[in-house]
Chain A
Amino acid sequence: MMQRAKELLLNPWFQLVLSVLFVTTSEVFLKRGAMKAPRLPEEVNWTGVSALASPDVWYGILFVIASFISWLYVLRFIPLTIAFPLSNFVHVLVPLSSWFFLNEHISVQRWCGIALVLLGVLIVAKPVARMEEKL
């Protein structure tokens, strides 16, 4: 049991999945926190530093760090030409989460974009999945 958990954690493809989930979670927290932040005058507000007053932003940062660690592990084992396109599954998950958790509106055009991203991810992932089966 422990052995299998360890093998799973050391699997770069599993870490890629974790990284994507962590990024999505962090984005939702960051947006929630940024919305609650006090608005400073435009000229000094562009770094968004006032958002650090919100705990949601700090949860967001924790998830950013977690996703970053997973991502570094992925980079050590998987080529960027494969790992980076696959990591863009976040562009499917983030709009869906924005819609589900933040009540943001998704237009028909945006749904089409989400479908295209999904198709691209599947095209990149399919030969990889076949390669893994053979191992």
Chain B
Amino acid sequence: MTPISALLIFVALILFILGQLFLKHAMEDDLRSARFRKNFAIGLSAMTVSFFITLGLLQHFDLSYLYPFQGLSVVIISLLAAAILREKLTLRLFFGAALISAGVVLVSLS
């Protein structure tokens, strides 16, 4: 893995996380409001850019190696959803999310 591809994997991850949070926030809103349109547009743009970067990375790495990097996003998204979107995060949910992230990282390192 070169520094450039590491950076691209990182950027794709950040954009993916931001996209999920903005989309979740948008979908809870009134679907006809201007605020929905703004949050939805931001979320969709972030996901789209993340998607094309991932597509490029797929030409250089195996799918089963590359895709799991997004697994790190499980714990990050759970924490941010609790902190920013005020969702309930029980210890059990966090433990489950942590196991998933650990499993996905293990998959991506092998």
Residues of chain A whose beta carbon lies under 8 Å from any beta carbon of chain B: 27-28, 30-31, 34-35, 37, 39, 45-49, 51, 57, 64, 68, 71-72, 75-76, 79-82, 84-85, 88, 91, 94-95, 98-99, 102, 104, 106-110, 112-124, 127
Contact = CB atoms under 8 A, between A and B. Distances in A.
Given A30-B55, A31-B58, A113-B106, A81 B99 contact: no
A111 B60 CA distance: 23
Given A75-B27, A81-B87, A120-B99, A48 B55 contact: yes
Given A81-B78, A88-B104, A113-B107, A27 B98 contact: no
A120 B100 contact: yes
Q: How big is chain B's contact interface, by range?
A: 35 or more
17 contacts: A28-B63, A34-B58, A47-B52, A75-B27, A79-B87, A81-B82, A81-B87, A81-B88, A84-B73, A84-B74, A84-B77, A91-B68, A117-B107, A120-B99, A123-B92, A123-B99, A124-B93
B4 interface: yes
A79 B100 CA distance: 17
Contacts of B64: 94-95, 98-99, 104, 106, 110
Interface in B76-110: 77-78, 81-82, 85, 87-89, 92-93, 95-110
